A = this chain, B = another copy of it.
Amino acid sequence: MDAASAVVNDIRRFNRFYTGMIGLLNQHILESNLSLSEVRVLYEIGQLGKCTAGQLTAILKIDGGYLSRMLKKFEKSGWLNRQQSTADGRTFFLYLSAAGKRLLSGLEEKSTREIRQITGHLSGKQQQQVAGAMKTIEEILTAQPGEQTTDIHIRYNLLPGDVGYLIYLHGQLYAKESGYNLEFEAYVCKTFYEFLPTYNPAKDRMFLATVNDQIVGSVAILGSSRHLAQLRWFLIHPDYRGKGLGKKMLQEAIAFCKEKNYQKVYLMTTSMQETAIALYKNAGFRKTGEKYLQLWGQQLYEQRYDMDLF
């Protein structure tokens, strides 16, 4: 079975599962004298505030006639107020009355209790996982084709765990993509270990691209001397490549160099990092040195790139 079919099966499976789950989670509706559709309508009016019947039929995809009767019932029960539009006498604006709002919040409270009952025995982390997974599904499935779904945030401070996570990313990605062995990870370890005691925000800066607080890209500028800076630890997680993130981060890094009046910035890389090198060149770096090395279980050319800033 190919990957696409597997996905379809997973989704179908989940549908079946969640059909049952929704049944469980909507039991409170059974206790009220409302139908699921009625609750959905009430909720939607509560959310939209001022809306018309037409909007509701479009959003909830329910029959207009059915809705009309529902609204009549709501009005009769005192949950809903209607106000004819002055601009268009055919339409009525719908509002929940105080009683309607009370009803709705009562329903939400019951729903909360129900959800708590189902998720109560889960650990905090599991609950977070479930909520996170739900968000993922919703975001991806509601995204319009081509729309940017996840927003990437860049931060500049170094928090506990960041260094380790960066080493992890380097170790894992370079092993996967370039076949580097564990020595490389030890080397990265060393670079961070040597850097940390000298870290000074006045001359050094980290750029950490994060998605949901998880690092997906990095680059750093370290002041080597008064006039020379080194660019290090440039890395973009494969899932977030091709979105201009790398370019943006390099731009920010170079802007920082200029801001701090460095005259030159350089970086070390290897011939294997073709994608990164393309970005370096694009940003204005030029190759200034090359040396053949056998390192990290690979045969490679260590290269130096430099860039004059002013």
Report B-chain residues with C-beta under 8 Å of the C-beta of A183: 196-197
Contact of A164 among B126, B146, B164 (CB under 8 A): B164
One of A12-20, A90-98, A259-267, A286-294 at the interface: A12-20
Q: Which of A146, A162, A166 has the most CB of B within 10 A?
A: A162
Given A123-B239, A164-B170, decide whether A118 and B131 contact each other with a Cβ distance below 8 A: no
A172-B25 Cα distance, complex, nearest whole Å: 36
A278 within 8 A of B: no
Assess whether A63 is interfacial by the CB under 8 Å rule: no
Whether A167 sits at the interface, judged by CB under 8 Å, is yes
| B170 lies within 8 A of A7 (CB) | no
Question: In the assembly, what is the distance between CA of A149 and CA of B61, in Å?
Answer: 38
Interface membership of A136, Cβ < 8 A: yes
Distance A137 CA – B122 CA, assembled complex (angstroms): 12
Contact B189 A193 (CB under 8 A): yes
A1-40 interface with B by 8 A CB criterion: 3-8, 10-23, 25-26, 36, 40
Residue of B nearest to A126 (CB): B140
Given A17-B142, A163-B186, A186-B197, A133:B137 Cβ within 8 A:
yes
Known contacts A141-B130, A160-B175, A193-B189; A116/B8 CB under 8 A: yes
Interface contact A112-B161, CB-CB below 8 Å: no
Beta-carbon contact of B17 and A124 below 8 Å: no
Interface status of A121 (Cβ within 8 A of chain B): yes
Q: In the complex, which residues of chain B have a beta carbon less than 8 angstroms from the beta carbon of A131?
A: 6-7, 10-11, 14
- Chain B residues whose CB sits within 8 angstroms of the CB of A74 once the complex forms: none
Interface residues of A in 193-246 (CB under 8 A from B): 193, 196-197, 199, 239
**Additional A-B contact list (6), CB under 8 Å, known A130-B137, A133-B136:** A4-B116, A132-B133, A161-B171, A163-B168, A164-B172, A186-B197
